[in-house]
Structure 1
Amino acid sequence: MADEDDRSPEEQFQELLRQLFGADGMDPAQLQQLQGMGIDPAMMAQMMQQMQSAFTSSDGSISWDVAERQALHIANQSDLGVGSGDRADLDQAFSLATLWLGEATTISDLSEQPRVITRGAWVEATMPVWRELAEPVATSIADALTATLAEQAPEEMQGMLQGAGRMMRSVGGSLFATQLGQVVGRLSMEVVSGGDVGLPVMPAGVAGILPQNFADFGQGLEIPEDQLALYVATRELAHARLFRHARWLRLDVIAQVTEFARGIHVDTGRLEELAESFDPSQPEELQRLLESGALLPERSEQQTAALTRLENLLALIEGWVDVVTADATARLPSAVRVAEVVRRRRAVGGPAEKALGSLVGLELRPRRMREAAAMWRAVTDAVGVAARDALWDYPDLLPGSEDIDDPSALIERLAARARGEEPARDAFDEALEQLLAEETGDEGPQGPTPV
């Protein structure tokens, strides 16, 4: 065995971190101590195994497998599976909901059968999207951890830190991935359906309900279970239909979320305080800081603008789903009561969803959902279902923030189009025509020209 002094600075630094994080393993006494602290030893063992992988990683990449393993560990612990009775009841609700939606929207049915899924299956289906949303934040945290430790290290250790940057990025990213997995695992115990969190986390064109969570959702509501199931199934199908029809919509939502997330920077001052006071025997401190969002500073102006655009888009989606679901379930005696319960639940969110918002710095609750629903209702009453649903055909047709505030101008444009009239020219039309005229060398229009 080589003498310790013969090891390279990077090897010495790796050994130091192994000792700091206990990555060489835990003895039974340490595992018992974790149980006494309320920490799951199996979960901690998985985290330590991932940390060991991070120490040996040569490219500095983040292994997202740990997030899925953590989430599945939590989801499967309490997963009771899907009973035949649950499956039959929800399949029947989906079938009737499909018929009713045919009268409430012109957007076509799904090509795949709706699914009745377990908590673990929901984790596996949605994890690719959670990774895409969280990766910019994880990278920021990993980079900040590397820079902070380099700044805090004594001068005599700077040689050890040289060449260890990739390893530290992997360690920091692994810590974040572990925490993301825990949050998504807990979220799997809250969500009732695929579209429950407002984002398109399920595969495109796929609808699903988690019967175990649906049963928990219905407790204490004093609403007949068959009516509740029919309402939830209708809402889930409407959400999935919309994203299947407007294929650009899913990409637009994800792009806006990632644009927001790329602007996130870690509070290095808070991270320096953590590095100075961190106690490896109390890993829950790091968990609390990550979940609380304490490492993420206040939003920049660019992030605030991106968040406003995202909130408007999510509100348009949820508002449309609300209106379509209300029309489709008008026959249900308890439809209004269930709708209000769902709206309150969407507005408040559960503990895991709040933790996810703190973790990635993004609040998923669309604040303007009621205003957007009122706009969609006004449009439906004025021009009908077909003209309303056609607004989802192309991104440039979608109503804007000003339309949510006051839909009268939008309704007038749609009504004029229905009468075969040319729409009124606006500033954009004038600017576009002027640009085209300059490119062709014309002096501009001699009179009103239809666009």
Structure 2
Amino acid sequence: MPDLPFGFSAGDDPDGDKPKKDPNPGPGDPFGFAGGDFNMADLGQIFTKLGQMFSGAGNPMAGGSGPVNYDVARQLASSSIGFVAPIPSATSTAVADAVHLADTWLDGATALPAGATKAVAWTPNDWVDGTLDRWKRLCDPMAEQISSVWAQSLPEEAKAMAGPLMAMMTQMGGMAFGSQLGQALGKLSREVLTSTDIGLPLGPTGVAALLPEAIETLSEGLEQPRSEIMTFLAAREAAHHRLFSHVPWLSSQLLNAVEAYAKGMKIDMSGLEELAQGINPAALTDPAAMEQLLSQGMFEPKATPEQTAALERLETMLALIEGWVQTVVTAALGERIPGTAALSEMLRRRRATAGPAEQTFATLVGLELRPRKMREAAALWERLTDAVGIDARDAVWQHPDLLPSSADLDEPAGFIDRIIGGDTSGVDIDAAIEEFQKATESEEDDKKPGDGPVDS
């Protein structure tokens, strides 16, 4: 299991030295609410103090609704980033030119047409603003699962006493989650290189975005000229946009897999029992203490078969995207930029050592992309290109059932044989290729003469 998201804990009890109640409460008291030192009067005191806290706090940070307070996330991310100088117009022009050149070279390496209609240079603040909508869809499912624990686990008597104050508990949880997200995005915004750096379409459709500040920092430790590094990263960004723009089901499948992973999670409710036994009602009068309580780790997720299956689907799909991008970028730039192989190896090592993008993704969403699968996916796409050519290789993206499975990444020969032999488990590969070619020709015909792939 990767870094646990949104305050999950691996079971460590920070109050382990405090006296505990009977570890085996009776069947009518599964969470230890009755008897001992914690009773319904204590619970009433908690909710009373919560009501006083919310009515008198007057804290604008408590605004917002939903499982994650994105106003808090945005404010904390911006505060973490601090002052950022505007990007010079010359740098913006260089980014647009690099994407345009990369797309021109990619035309000979893939049958998918250009997907970027605009190229931009982003500051870290631009990245936060440009990707926050997509982070909402990625983070909400996990946060909703955790937030619902309160309402689902309280005994009926406690629910009756809580009443509308349960919404206040949810609001505090949203603040805690928003705080974690904001801090993570503030750090990540300084280190990501492009809008697709973690393999997901985080930015607006058709907008190729590079972050010159992070690219400059990366370049300081490399031997390749900055112009080559910029063009290499622009090619990767442009290749991602070709996939996300012209494989219409891909983005939704990726996001659906993340949602399926979160929805398949089961919570070990013993965390709530621990909370009930050791809680200090007086601490709930302090919003900061409440946020710390919610974020320090109360529940332990339990893997389920549904969760495992969703994780495997997402890991495989992300590996296939990364492997395809590496294959087409190497084919397009390999003879034009001598440092392409070294730059590709640098990115592989960056991923293999759990770079900042992967660590943050694992922390926020609970998922981790395994580098081994990325390497195997790249090898499969390379072998498939040699066996069937560019058109047939890229036609595999026309239907999700045509894509290699996780097992195919381990044994690519069988998958390649199936594609060559036309055995695609009920999917007509020839029809898919014909449909793909017609769609590509139609897209090219729709372009006006002289139009470039990118507007600066």
Secondary structure at the counterpart of residue 81 of structure 1? coil
Q: 1:303 corresponds to which letter in structure 2?
A: Q
Deviation at 1:62, TM superposition (A): 5.5
Residue 387 (structure 2) pairs with residue 382 (structure 1): yes
2:61 to 32, 42, 50: 50
Q: What secondary structure is seen at the aligned counterpart in 1 of 2:398?
A: coil
* CA shift digits 1:362-407 (9 cap, x unpaired): 2244540000100000001111111111111222222222322222
> Number of residues paired by the alignment?
381
SS at match of 1:368: helix
Match in the other structure for 1:215: 216
Which residue of the partner structure matches residue 72 of structure 1? 78
1:277–1:220: structure 2 CA closer, same or farther, 3 Å change rule?
farther
Which runs of structure 2 are paired with 1:84-95 in the superposition (5 Å)? 84-95=89-100
1:24 paired to 2:40: no
Does residue 138 of the first structure (1) align with residue 149 of the second (2)?
no
- Quickly say closer, same or farther: Cα 1:367–1:81, change in 2 above 3 A: farther
In 2, Cα distance between equivalents of 1:187 and 1:22: 35
CA–CA distance in 1 between the matches of 2:290 and 2:367?
22
Identify the residue that residue 448 of structure 1 maps to in structure 2.
none
Residue 103 (structure 2) pairs with residue 98 (structure 1): yes
Which of 313, 318, 336 in structure 1 is aligned with 2:317?
313
User: Which residue pairs with 1:446 in the alignment?
Assistant: none
Q: How far 1:70 moved relative to its partner?
A: 2.8
Which amino acid in the other structure matches residue 119 of structure 1? P
Q: Distance in 2 between matches of 1:354 and 1:288?
A: 23
Letter in 2 for 1:305: A
Match of 2:405 in 1: 400
Asked if the contact 1:67/1:179 (under 8 Å) is kept, the reply is yes
- Report the TM-score, using the length of structure 1 for normalisation: 0.75
Tell me, yes or no, if the aligned pair for 1:12 and 1:160 is still in contact at 8 Å: no
Helix, strand or coil for the counterpart of 2:397? coil
Tell me, in whole angstroms, the C-alpha distance in 2 between the residues paired with 1:273 and 1:254: 34
Alignment partner, residue 231 of structure 1: 232
Q: 1:347 is aligned with what amino acid?
A: A
The residue that corresponds to 2:330 in the other structure is 326
Matched, 1:410 2:415: yes
Out of 115, 119, 126, which is 1:121 matched to?
126
227-236 or 157-166, which deviates more: 157-166
Q: What SS does the aligned partner of 1:203 have?
A: coil
User: Within 5 Å, which residues of 2 pair with 1:361-372?
Assistant: 361-365=366-370, 367-372=372-377
The code of the aligned residue for 2:376 comes to E
- Measure, in 1, the Cα distance between the counterparts of 2:100 and 2:361: 33
- CA offsets per residue over residues 38-71 of structure 1, 9 Å max, x none? xxxxxxxxxx4233x37xx7xx775433333333
Q: Is the 8 Å Cα contact of residues 69 and 181 (structure 1) preserved in structure 2?
A: yes
> Structure 1: where are the runs of 5+ without partners?
1-9, 26-47, 417-422, 430-451
Q: Do the aligned residues in 2 keep the contact of 1:90 with 1:116 (CA within 8 Å)?
A: yes
Q: How far apart, in 1, do the equivalents of 2:120 and 2:92 lie?
A: 9
CA contact (8 A) 1:312 1:366 kept: no
Cα contact 1:13–1:161 (8 A) shared by 2: no
CA–CA separation in structure 2 for the residues paired with 1:110 and 1:425: 27
Question: What secondary structure sits across from 2:118 in the alignment?
Answer: coil
What one-letter code is carried by the residue in structure 2 that aligns with 1:17?
Answer: L
Deviation of residue 254 (structure 1)?
0.4
Further displaced range: 374-383 or 138-147: 138-147
Matched position secondary structure for 2:199: coil
CA distance in 2, matches of 1:238, 1:349: 23
Change (3 A) 1:355 1:288: farther
Cα distance in structure 1, aligned partners of 2:386 and 2:331 = 12
> What one-letter code is carried by the residue in structure 1 that aligns with 2:184?
V
SS in 2 for 1:384: helix
Q: Is the 8 A contact 2:247 2:397 kept in 1?
A: yes
Asked if 1 retains the 8 angstrom alpha-carbon contact of 2:319 and 2:369, the reply is no
Query: 2: CA distance between counterparts of 1:283 and 1:13?
Result: 16
SS in 2 for 1:207: strand
CA distance in 2, matches of 1:400, 1:73: 43
> Is the 2:268–2:299 contact (alpha carbons within 8 Å) kept by the matching residues of 1?
yes
Give the partner amino acid of 1:215: E
Shift of 1:295: 3.5
**Does structure 2 conserve the Cα–Cα contact (< 8 Å) formed by 1:183 and 1:356?**
no
1:242-281 to structure 2, matched below 5 A, reads: 242-274=243-275, 276=278
Aligned residue in 1 for 2:305 = 301
| Unaligned stretches of 5+ residues in structure 2 | 1-42, 428-456
Aligned in 2, Cα 1:367/1:16: closer, same or farther, shift over 3 Å? farther
Q: Secondary structure at the match of 2:301?
A: coil
Change beyond 3 A, Cα 1:320–1:290: farther
Tell whether 2:349 aligns with 1:349: no
Given residue 75 of structure 2, which amino acid in structure 1 is its aligned partner? Answer: R
- 15-24 or 373-382, which deviates more: 15-24
What is the alpha-carbon distance in structure 2 between the residues aligned to residue 319 and residue 61 of structure 1?
34
